[in-house]
């Protein structure tokens, strides 16, 4: 099955609508204030109301309270929650919203930690480990570890340093359920590059 494509770090309506016109499956909005791609719930809501139906909207959170996540999800009209912090399996289970758990992959021990979340989340996002940085590193990691994560039979979303020049290799190597692309198609954090986005989707369309 051809992998689905998510563009994360959306901060502008024009970037969201361009991604939609190119065939994106999901758009990610980062509600972590320390991220250079942070977006306020008010601005995210303004963008999301412009997005046509059947394109998923994903809220990215890091160690936020369940109450705050629910509040923002309801206010913005989010379809999915993506958790990038130290959220426990119980936290995910009790959230009451469909969610994806992100794991920063450092070594095989990182993969072993994933099993406790099986049955409590809709998918595993595997990203690059970088100390004190919960995501958005712009760097790839050893994809052989991502392959090992497939043993749990939970959809794998591959992130970390993906760009037009390596997504085909990423798909051929890992065969993930989906790709999560962010910094690899940007001019500056949160500002997407039209030509790079078009190139990304051109490559993806031929996979």
Query: Which residues are designated catalytic?
Result: 8, 127
Helices (H), the chain: 13-22, 41-48, 66-76, 89-95, 108-112, 143-148, 167-174, 194-205
Cβ proximity of 163 and 5 under 8 Å: no
Structure tokens at 114: 């994933």
CA distances from 41 to 59, 64, 95 (A): 10, 14, 19
User: CA geometry: angle at 101 spanning 154 and 168, to 5°?
Assistant: 65
């Amino acid at each position: 099955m051809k992998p689905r494509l998510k563009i994360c770090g959306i901060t502008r309506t024009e970037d969201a609508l361009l991604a939609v016109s190119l065939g994106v499956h999901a758009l990610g909005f980062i509600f972590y204030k320390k991220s250079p791609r942070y977006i306020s719930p008010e601005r995210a809501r303004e963008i999301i109301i412009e997005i046509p139906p059947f394109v998923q909207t994903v809220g990215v959170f890091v160690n936020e309270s369940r109450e705050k996540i629910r509040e923002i999800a309801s206010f913005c009209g989010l379809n999915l929650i993506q958790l990038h912090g130290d959220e426990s399996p119980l936290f995910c289970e009790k959230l009451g919203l469909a969610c994806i758990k992100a794991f920063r992959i450092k070594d095989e021990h990182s993969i072993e930690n994933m099993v406790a979340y099986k049955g409590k989340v809709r998918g595993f996002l595997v990203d690059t480990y970088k100390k004190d940085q919960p995501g958005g590193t712009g760097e790839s990691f050893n994809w052989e570890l991502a392959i090992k994560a497939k043993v749990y039979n939970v959809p794998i979303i591959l992130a970390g340093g993906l760009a037009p020049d390596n997504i085909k290799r990423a798909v051929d190597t890992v065969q993930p359920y989906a790709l999560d692309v962010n910094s690899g198609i940007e001019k500056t954090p949160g500002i997407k590059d039209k030509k790079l986005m078009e190139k990304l989707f051109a490559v993806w369309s031929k996979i």
